[in-house]
Structure 1
């Protein structure tokens, strides 16, 4: 309650409150104000305006508090509206991203199917290639690592080991030719025949040795040819 009600001839007008409410009627605060004003200046039966000052002040304070709350709510509503608008933009962006992802997934599915068909085709081609006896523009059947040659089939052979050269013969008969035999015994003639015969014998022995060396080289060649697979082993 006011300290001295008689100091107030008329209560404060509720200036923060609309005079007419949304229904076209005078608001309660203004109605109380005009009632008390009437009692103060015109009512003959008494004067109660001072007794209602505190009630009006409380109503004004409540209205002002409501105005502040409404202002705060308005700011919160505006903030929420901005957030809702941003969320709407984000939803649109996400929707577009989802559509793009769906298209990409569909394209990937198509690519996966195409790749699967290509893999099957490649596998079939590989099987055909593996089973083929001729490929890569080869001039005949392909020869593998273990496809050894034989008498009728071309194939692999090992490289033959190195063989030393055969010894060249150095036989050279230098004794002069013997002339016609004399009618009677001639020691000189007989000696020349003996010398030539002995030289022939030595030369023949050397030729035999050289021939044996050539035969050994030939046998070694044959053996290495068999070992390398170039010749069939009997």
Structure 2
């Protein structure tokens, strides 16, 4: 007849067998250690009471670990449930925020920093870069108006006409330069407004 140790030896599974059952590593180790101690005790002598006493000690220790694990699992379950509730709340809050139309003083759909406006839909614009001021034109004809032409040729009157024409020419060129400067400033403002998404390209 087989001894108790031999009988226990035939019941000893491998660690991989137990892991296939879904046992965690700590439970596999505790179970195999408990069984190994039991076989050693049974091999040294077949005193059944000693074997049972040691078995009870090992089982009590294992029970404590199982109980502690159950407590940890219960605590984890509470945390998972709390997380589920929090996730649902965040989902609700996000949906409310996405659908909001009046937060922060808005009067329509809330836009983000990259939701640039179009000609038909309001949105975000950037601050345009600064442009230089246009020059103040100083072109003016300072010479007095000439009088009526004399009946006979007058060299002085002809010179007065010539001076006035030249003055007008000079001031005309100055006015053209000032106008070109103003056009340049306007074009610069338009270009910077386009860059800032304030105007269609």
Q: Which TM-score bucket, shorter chain as reference?
A: 0.5 to 0.7
Is this contact kept in 2: 1:129–1:135, CA < 8 A?
A: no
Matched, 1:220 2:188: yes
Partner of 1:175: 143
Shift of the alpha carbon at 1:118? 4.9
Partner of 2:124: 156
Could you tell me how far apart the structure 2 residues matched to 1:210 and 1:226 are?
25
Cα deviation, 1:107-166, whole Å, max 9, x if unaligned, reads: x9xx98995785365134224224315242632111102100110111111221111111
Could you tell me how far apart the structure 2 residues matched to 1:186 and 1:149 are?
69
Deviates more, 1:129-138 or 1:204-213: 129-138
Q: Which runs of no fewer than 5 residues in structure 1 stay unpaired?
A: 1-107
Deviates more, 1:129-138 or 1:224-233: 129-138
Change (3 A) 1:153 1:185: same
* TM-score for both structures, normalised by structure 1: 0.48
Partner of 1:129: 96
Structure 2 residue matching 1:163: 3-state secondary structure? coil
Partner of 1:189: 157
Aligned length, in residue pairs: 129
Structure 1 residue matching 2:168: 3-state secondary structure? helix
Q: Which has the larger radius of gyration?
A: 1
Could you tell me how far apart the structure 2 residues matched to 1:187 and 1:144 are?
76
Shift of the alpha carbon at 1:206? 0.3
* TM-score for both structures, normalised by structure 2: 0.55
The alignment's C-alpha RMSD in Å is 2.9
Change (3 A) 1:181 1:140: same
Could you tell me how far apart the structure 1 residues matched to 2:83 and 2:187 are?
61
* From 205, 214, 217, the counterpart of 2:173: 205
Could you tell me how far apart the structure 1 residues matched to 2:80 and 2:129 are?
57
Matched, 1:119 2:86: yes
